[in-house]
Structure 1
């Protein structure tokens, strides 16, 4: 289908901003240690998380059990966005001073402009609106139960829990290496901002997150990028009023313990992925047009299982995407490789 554009309207974009905080790292750490199904796929091993939890104080272990049951890490992250600070005591005071409806409103997830009134009414104790909010999120893996918990929770008890788990996690896990963590986050943001001078907003988001191709959505004016180490290699996506949020994994080069000769994992993976004739042929075909596995099998003198194996390597290196059985080349990721290599050489 051909399209004749007779408008003068440019495609909508968004601005990109950064924020880093020890408090975000605390909240994400609490989320990470209680997200057991993901422990096998995190940078730190399943054994690491298990041993860490066993060596925490009984009080913190009990608080983390509560987090795991009710997903109150989400509450902590939401509150971090409504009160921007790096000081734990200031954050705890903010929680203590919140009125009941404020705490519940800030805790409930943002579900889009059209559901804001429902969110407000639910936070003020309207049970029918709470049920409607739960129904609106019934396809989500934990939002309905989380919404019910927030709406029905005793505010005083919730405040005690939030302050306890945040304080104890900070004292037992974060505080011993707080300066190193803060420097790492600060270094990573500085490098991303410097790279942002050369890129569009979309390119910057894709580069910072290691492959997320995020396009403008209605009512989203800003993409907020927040660096984190604790959840590596995962990106965590969230929504707030007017903003899309990505808690992205810090680059290897930002971690002080890495020597300057150690290349970034994905830099190595990309060059390894391209260091094979068959995979280069696949890349060439995908550069010309998107293809299904069946189409690639017809184009190459290779078996379907072999091509699938090569595609898996290209996808793991974040050079190829797949959706509904159709493979596409991430051309921007290829374009970034030269800059990423030069950054490593200049380190």
Structure 2
């Protein structure tokens, strides 16, 4: 397998670089064919890396630190970051992918700033109107589908939604080995007469394309049924849908755990069924699904959740490495070219 280089923005996110370095140490063990560039405060990162490598007996020869003097904060405005934070760890990560020093990057930082920097400096693939954030979502069969957009583009026209369907289809095919992924549009009902005009227009574009296996509308209740491999919506709808589901999952889990502890019999039953209970909830653990990809760019960019744990950030790293190994941007580019030629 060819050697690749991945950049990690160590200063983004809510928990600081210690979480990022812990994930990096694990990735060094898991991916021997990957080199890493870490952007951020060099003295601070060197100290954390020295401590973690000593505790974990890992060789740091595949890690290079690129010092930066600025940090993009979570409440910074994207435009302000572009103008004033030219030496931020996030900007350095994007620049390293743009100039070919690395094939992909991972950041847990400000989503709006990451989107703006990637769009401006890394740029979209030829023919792609807007990059989209796409995330894996579990389904009831223990597999995963994909949802996009989940926040990069709050408002979309029909052509943009159509392209999201094309790009999502490529990602599902390559990552999940599905020959002809089912693509659906998220709507307020499954009937063709329902929904806003822009969604209906996108449905016509998807239905008439020879390069997308469009299967119609789905509702919010279908997100986890496995009825579609790719579900398309604008970023406003997708972000609310995803976070609502995360909140519901957390509430159900906490309620379940709390009820188990209220009586000696339920506590004993929980102890007896611990392994089965753990397995049942493991597929819902958001850590393994952490890492939303900005698809449609000229390189791999993966956005980790800002409050990600070390395990969750490791999942984002693993996701970025897989996309890089598959050369996903090139595959998306090829499919978009076919679609554009079909339209003309």
What is the TM-score when the length of structure 2 is the normalising length? 0.25
Greater length-normalized contact order (CA 8 Å, ≥ 6 residues apart): 2
Q: Which has the larger radius of gyration?
A: 1
Higher strand share: 2
